[in-house]
Amino acid sequence: MNTSRAIQRFWWIALFGAAMAGITAFLLLYNVDPAWPLKLSKRSLPTYAAATELLVDSPSGPYLRTVTKLPPTPVAHAAKPTKGATTTTATTPSAPAATPVVDTKPLIDAANLFPLFVESDAVVRIRTRLIGNIPGAVSAKGLYSLQGAARFRPSVIPVMEIDAVAAKPKWAIALVDGTARAFNIWLARQQRRANIPESQRIIVRELHVPQSASATGGTSLGLPAIASLAVLALFIGVAVLLDQRLVPGSRLRPVKAVEGAAAPVPTEPVERGGVAAYGGGGGPEQPFA
């Protein structure tokens, strides 16, 4: 099977197949509005998501030390002497030393509450002044928290997660970073207005600055590519089939005579001297009765 020869002889079929393959890929990627003038729109646009994590911390750095506060130590009390009795001193037995505890519960509670403030209109207004009005959606939650239809499981660590979805990667990254900065500004303003001492304030630390966004959804380029190749292969197959069926000598090759081989035996009677005879017998010619 000579594919290149078939394409050269039936080039118009191969050309038509290439055009149909291109049209197939185009229709799988775009919607065509039949109204005039024609309008093209992508079947499904991809969206880009970016995320960052914020650590809810305090100036004392409870996660950098083993003790933040010590439990009260029991005090020994002396017994009062009575008249006429020998003076003795009795002490209350001391309780075993309590293990120092790191108080992180307020920070964990704040990490589960602050996502509501992150999505508030006040933070959105600050973000708009910082980076402009970028289209997209922003959501926040406590890291590893679960929200079900009838059940909520809060996060057990003081970390918040901020997610943003937008039509472009740079928009998603800008929304995440801008929201984190806007919430930090809003939190500091609220603490100043409430006259909270700096040693008692809750601070938010961005664990990492988002550098990239991942694409989700959208029409995959693999399906249009496979479909167009299949259409092109179909038309090339038709050209090869026509080359084998319609072109003389495309399937059967002529047999070359080998030098020194015996000549083919004639199947028709040969006239020799007015007598009809068949050749190839090797013996004397016998006339027909």
Residue from 66, 64, 72 nearest 102 by CA: 66
Distance (Å, whole) CA 179 – CA 177: 6
- 166: number of Cβ within 10 Å: 22
Per-residue pLDDT, 220: 67
Number of H helices, E strands in the chain: 6, 11
Distance (Å, whole) CA 121 – CA 90: 65
Residue from 73, 75, 116 nearest 98 by CA: 73
Per-residue pLDDT, 175: 95
107 within 8 A of 56, measured Cβ to Cβ: yes
Residue 143 token pair: 């890291």
Per-residue pLDDT, 33: 73
**What pTM value is reported for the model?**
0.57
Tell me if residue 238 falls in helix, strand or coil.
Answer: helix
Distance (Å, whole) CA 21 – CA 89: 104
CA within 13 Å, CB half, 249: 4
Per-residue pLDDT, 113: 93
φ, ψ dihedrals at 47, nearest 5°:
-115, 155
The beta strand positions in 27-76, using DSSP E, are 30-33, 39-42, 47-57
Per-residue pLDDT, 150: 78
Q: What does the H/E/C string look like for 72-129?
A: CCCCCCCCCCCCCCCCCCCCCCCCCCCCCECCCHHHHHHHHHHHHHHCCHHHHHHHHH
Block mean pLDDT (10 aa), the chain, length 289? 79 87 81 72 80 91 70 55 54 50 81 94 95 94 85 89 93 94 95 92 89 78 83 87 71 53 54 51 50
| DSSP class of 64 | G
43 within 8 A of 219, measured Cβ to Cβ: yes
